[in-house]
Structure 1
Amino acid sequence: MSHQLHVRRNLPRFRPLSVGAAAATLLSLAATPAQAIGFSQGDATLDINGTVNGFYSHRSEERGGVKTTDSALTNGLLPGWINFVFTTKVEGLDIKAHVGFAPGINDKSDVVGLPSDPSCGGGTGCDSPFSQIDTRNLYFQFGNTEWGTIKFGRDIGLFGQKIILSDMTLLGLGGNSYASTPFNTTFGMIGHGYMYTGFQPQITYTTPALDGFSASAGIFDPSKFAGDETKDPGFQGMLSYDWKSGTTNGSLWAGAVHQRTSGAGSFNASGVELGARLGIGAFEAVVYGFDASGLGLSTVGALYLSPFGKTDGKGYFVQGTYTVGKTKFGLNFGENRDSGGVLADTNKFRSATAGIYHSLNKYITLVGEYNQEKGDGDDLFVGDLKTRTISVGGILMF
């Protein structure tokens, strides 16, 4: 009898995945309960988990004195997600493989994650009656608690990872200045206090946890953002300390990113970040800052997007949340600034979000948010940019 038939015979043997494991799979959303279904065959387990969300957003914009209003039925900062996670232990090694697909509900995108142009009158780049599926996770890893873990494949980056996982709008919508025609996701607070880490091909090593301390470092597929060659890989690293004592818990982290490009117009791109999260009972606070040179336009949150040469970027982010029963209330604020290169101005993009996140049950969280954004800078905006977005919806995780 084939191995596949053995697996099918074991299908009724499902079990819930732990909250911690499901949260790690779904971008470490530890604050939200999650369940999964697992199938076991011999010493191997296949877990299936995912998330689906949908929101209504009403948005007003004022740009260069011109006011517009639009609305959308859209995904939030997260797309949909379906994950297949294989785990086993063989000869003292913990082995894991992860394949994840991220579809969106929006029907106006013919390029993954990018909007089409409804005004182009037909043809390539115009509205398409379908959404795209983004393969974000595709990696395997092995290791143990004695010497650590090494990962090969595509997964979330290290630089900027912990701050986006701490952003409360990860469960909601946040801002959508670039999404009047819907993206497959919105921006949350990306570009308003931090840069987007992205899902990147990598080979990374993570140390064992030692009294709360751990470190990760790796080489990353180089981005062709300057010059004509990328003969050197990128580098990212992160050092973190996590603790818990009674009703108090927290995390401190520092990260770094570097890439050298070759060819005409080449330069070194680098960035550093510092962040902290502190939880005391029902209250949690997050503070974060970064400083970058040549990483790209941080005001659009796009790592390595540098159409304006070697820009300098910096930003900061603060957030506070308080939980009453099954409902979390939160406020956050962030600002990014870009200058240098061929930019003629200092371009600023800042945003604030007030959110309510109610856990209806162990699977569903209902969300309501109000967001304001403001952009200044002659290079990126035609005059000042102001937006206001009200969004309501929900997210299901299993």
Structure 2
Amino acid sequence: MQNFSSVRPLVLALLALGSTASHAVSFTQNDVTLDINGTINGFYVNRESKSTNRATGASTTTNNSALTNGLLPGWINFVATTQANGQDIKAHFSFAPGINSNSEVIGLSNNAAAGGTGQGSPFSQIDTRNVYFQFGNNSWGTLKFGRDIGLFGRDVILSDMTLIGVGGTSNAGIPYNTTFGMIGHGYMYTGFQPQITYSTPTLGGFQASVGIFQPSRFAGDETKAPGFQGVATYDWKGQSTNVKVWTGAVSQSTSCSVSPCATQSYTANGFELGAKAGFGNFEAVAYAFTGSGLGLSTVGAQFFGGSNGAGNKTDSDGYFLQGTYKFGATKVGLNFGENKDKNGFALTGASPLNSIKNQAYTLGVYHSLNKYITLVGEFNDEKITNAADTNVDFKNRTISAGGIIFF
């Protein structure tokens, strides 16, 4: 059976990034093959947070530790593939549970809200991230229907070394069952989104994907049109050198039926450009993006705080740099990222702000214990400068150690 030219399941990309291989359990009945693969991780995290009032110089330092998931939750994937009438067919659904618990009372169930009391909650901590099917071939491409990883911001998070670790913003683990890695510090989170996406065949290393996505009411209360995302990539592989470059875009329009914005519509746009190059055991990543009305990139979630509701869009930009080197079974790496937002929506409400800036770097060590298990140690240093919201700056330092298994 031919391989699909469309986006692989995220976990398989992670397997490749972690210098391991997929060891899925596979069953074949008649002409249908069912593959089962997944990942589990756990980390000890110690985090020191310091807040400083710029006006008075007064500061407060707190220190906390946790046993938590990293940037990935747990993940179990079920992937069915077959072929009919010249079409490669694939169906994929997954479940992403985690180990995080915000109940401080042993034996009580979790509460879905961060900082909850440990009382029972009707909300499940299991996230269904992949629910889609696709069909196509190497002649005309592939069509995908369902929920899968987005296109804008996809390739940079798949290139982030902290994807199999913790990174920063470790206190975000509850109730999301993940940390944020370098999300909000160099790039925005692509997310897993309902979509209908077309991907071209790979031609000489070039491939493009474009799709319509579930619309977001980032401003106003009407979404007459879906969201649009597209990405184009070029891969070149040599004997000891590999180069990948990509560019992507996202666009979403909304409008209002009531005041104060009933007389106009709003469009959010984002653009990205990235490159990854490997030379022997060394690999480098460079990435940048810009957005208008796309949301608070310092939070990391697309369309959160894209506008203040009165026409003022949030302007965002950021960049991400990373270098890694492999010494046998051990990879060491250093990355740095910065996101900056200005105008538009403030974290505390619909008031204008001058700027919010997030900067962070991560130093990481990733050791492949065997073909299944990778041991991880990271140090993350983060600085948050909030120019007009609270007049307070934050510095966070996170030390984490743990491991992840892929099967």
Q: Normalized against structure 1, the TM-score is what?
A: 0.89
Match in the other structure for 1:3 = none
Give 1:274-293 correspondences, 5 Å limit. 274-293=273-292
Question: Is 1:71 aligned with 2:65?
Answer: yes
Hey, what's the Cα distance between the residues in 2 that align with 1:380 and 1:357?
38
| Sequence identity (%) | 61
Hey, what's the Cα distance between the residues in 2 that align with 1:278 and 1:208?
23
Hey, what's the Cα distance between the residues in 2 that align with 1:381 and 1:322?
40
Deviation string 1:62-86 (CA, Å, 9 cap, x unpaired) is 1131111101100000000000000
Structure 1 residue 183 displacement after superposition: 3.9
Match in the other structure for 1:320 = 323
Match of 2:17 among 6, 10, 31: 31
Hey, what's the Cα distance between the residues in 2 that align with 1:380 and 1:96?
48
Hey, what's the Cα distance between the residues in 1 that align with 2:190 and 2:208?
17
Match in the other structure for 1:165 = 158
3-state DSSP of counterpart to 1:170: helix
Match in the other structure for 1:302 = 301
Hey, what's the Cα distance between the residues in 2 that align with 1:153 and 1:239?
21
Question: Is 1:59 aligned with 2:47?
Answer: yes
Match in the other structure for 1:344 = 353
Note if contact 1:250-1:277 (Cα within 8 Å) is conserved in structure 2.
Answer: yes
Hey, what's the Cα distance between the residues in 2 that align with 1:237 and 1:385?
35
Range that drifts further, 44-53 or 264-273: 264-273
Deviation string 1:149-185 (CA, Å, 9 cap, x unpaired) is 0000000000000000000000100002652766410
Deviation string 1:81-109 (CA, Å, 9 cap, x unpaired) is 00000000111000000001100101126
3-state DSSP of counterpart to 1:146: coil
Give 1:214-293 correspondences, 5 Å limit. 214-263=207-256, 264=258, 265=261, 266-293=265-292
Question: Is 1:50 aligned with 2:38?
Answer: yes
Deviation string 1:352-397 (CA, Å, 9 cap, x unpaired) is 0000000000100000000000000144555111000000000000
Range that drifts further, 386-395 or 59-68: 59-68
Note if contact 1:71-1:180 (Cα within 8 Å) is conserved in structure 2.
Answer: no
Match in the other structure for 2:397 = 388
Give 1:99-178 correspondences, 5 Å limit. 99-108=93-102, 110-111=111-112, 115-118=113-116, 122=117, 132-176=125-169, 178=171
Note if contact 1:319-1:330 (Cα within 8 Å) is conserved in structure 2.
Answer: yes
Match in the other structure for 1:358 = 367
Hey, what's the Cα distance between the residues in 2 that align with 1:151 and 1:21?
9
Structure 1 residue 307 displacement after superposition: 6.7
- Counterpart residue type for residue 114 of structure 2: S
3-state DSSP of counterpart to 1:229: coil
Match in the other structure for 2:314 = 311
Closer, same or farther: CA 180–216 of 1 in aligned 2, 3 Å? closer
Hey, what's the Cα distance between the residues in 2 that align with 1:245 and 1:332?
25
- Counterpart residue type for residue 116 of structure 1: A
Note if contact 2:219-2:307 (Cα within 8 Å) is conserved in structure 1.
Answer: no
3-state DSSP of counterpart to 1:26: helix
Note if contact 1:357-1:365 (Cα within 8 Å) is conserved in structure 2.
Answer: yes
- Counterpart residue type for residue 397 of structure 2: R
Match of 2:74 among 60, 75, 80: 80
Hey, what's the Cα distance between the residues in 1 that align with 2:33 and 2:287?
37
- Counterpart residue type for residue 245 of structure 2: L
3-state DSSP of counterpart to 2:13: coil
Structure 1 residue 110 displacement after superposition: 3.5
Note if contact 1:375-1:381 (Cα within 8 Å) is conserved in structure 2.
Answer: no
3-state DSSP of counterpart to 2:96: strand
Structure 2: which 5+ residue stretches go unaligned? 53-58, 103-109, 345-350
Match in the other structure for 1:6 = none
- Counterpart residue type for residue 325 of structure 1: G
Q: Number of residue pairs matched?
A: 372
Match in the other structure for 2:337 = 334
Note if contact 2:173-2:179 (Cα within 8 Å) is conserved in structure 1.
Answer: no
Match in the other structure for 1:209 = 202
Range that drifts further, 360-369 or 261-270: 261-270
Hey, what's the Cα distance between the residues in 2 that align with 1:134 and 1:182?
11
Note if contact 1:369-1:392 (Cα within 8 Å) is conserved in structure 2.
Answer: yes
Hey, what's the Cα distance between the residues in 2 that align with 1:54 and 1:145?
39
Note if contact 1:57-1:71 (Cα within 8 Å) is conserved in structure 2.
Answer: yes
Structure 1: which 5+ residue stretches go unaligned? 1-17
Range that drifts further, 383-392 or 180-189: 180-189
3-state DSSP of counterpart to 1:133: coil
Note if contact 1:72-1:182 (Cα within 8 Å) is conserved in structure 2.
Answer: no
Structure 1 residue 343 displacement after superposition: 2.9
